Amino acid sequence: MTMLLRLALVLLLTASAVATAAEPRKQVASVTARLADPRPLVIAHRGCWRQPAENSLAAIAACAALDVDIVEIDLRQTKDGVIVLLHDDTLERTTSLSGPLRVKNHAELKSARLRRGQGGSDAVFTDQHLPSFEEVLALPGKIFFFLDIKEPIHEPVAQLLDRHRAWDRVLFSMNKEFGPDLMRARFVGRAAVMPKLSENLGGKCARDLDPGSDLIAYAGLRAPIYEVVFCNDRFFDLARTQVRDARLWVNALGPVFDGGRDEKTALANPDAVWGELLTRGASALQTDHPQELIAYLRKTGRW
């Protein structure tokens, strides 16, 4: 039985079990349509990585079974031009191989097995391999993806979206670090885009920064959603005031992203973190705990 067929069976069986606990939501047709829906969005960081490894096919299938809105995946390119799912620029933390990805041909990665969870030298190896983006696009079901593109490889990514007719399934990040040409990339106008408004510059908090200048630069995109990275709530509040007719996405992953909050606290007291962010104006939360966040949103009547 092929890996994709096994994953399809796992997805169907898990989805059936989840459906007995809560009525599944109606599937929307595209990322753009989901962004137009006022309900909060749940974004799973690197997939549902506890089942069993980050950026794995099984982790994506687990997210689909949970009814997660969007699965965040990391994209990089091999030496011979194959797009694969990998967060780091080296292989050792998350796979059974080592060294930089960019010096490896895709055929050399066939033997790689992903380490459990978020990896590390003590993490055991799973039966999951290092997936290509093409394999991900071939998974069954209408799964939506946030593409965290780690290198300036947007054009080969666009070619795969063309081949799989998958433009309606993805959200692109507009990160200024890739330069002004990104504003004219081929995906602009074809896929949903999310510009980033950040108070964290070069790893340091830029106090008294105003997101207004970036908003002017991004105005022509007519983006349906903006990511806000903030050191203190003042910056987020300014963004909330200045952004009109668009949603705000917050990484609820840790203090450097969301004004000092952390998900360890969120698990013990979700009102103090997830609830407070939503009340403040966030309407999309990226999380390492999608199952718990979904349960909280259901409990509070938000989802």
Q: Which residues are catalytic?
A: 45, 87
Contact 273, 265 (CB under 8 A): yes
List Cβ neighbours of 151 (8 Å cut-off, separation of 6 or more).
Answer: 75, 76, 77
Burial 110-125 (b: 16+ CB within 10 A, else e): eebbbbbbbbeeebee
Per the DSSP assignment, residues forming a β-bridge with 174 are: 195
Per the DSSP assignment, residues forming a β-bridge with 251 are: 286
Given the structure tokens 């933390």, which residue do they identify?
93
User: What letter does residue 106 receive in the DSSP assignment?
Assistant: G
Burial class of residue 207 in the structure, from the number of CB atoms within 10 Å of its CB (0-12 exposed, 13-18 middle, 19+ buried): exposed
* Number of C-beta neighbours around residue 132 at 10 A: 19
Contact 95, 112 (CB under 8 A): yes
Contact 194, 202 (CB under 8 A): no
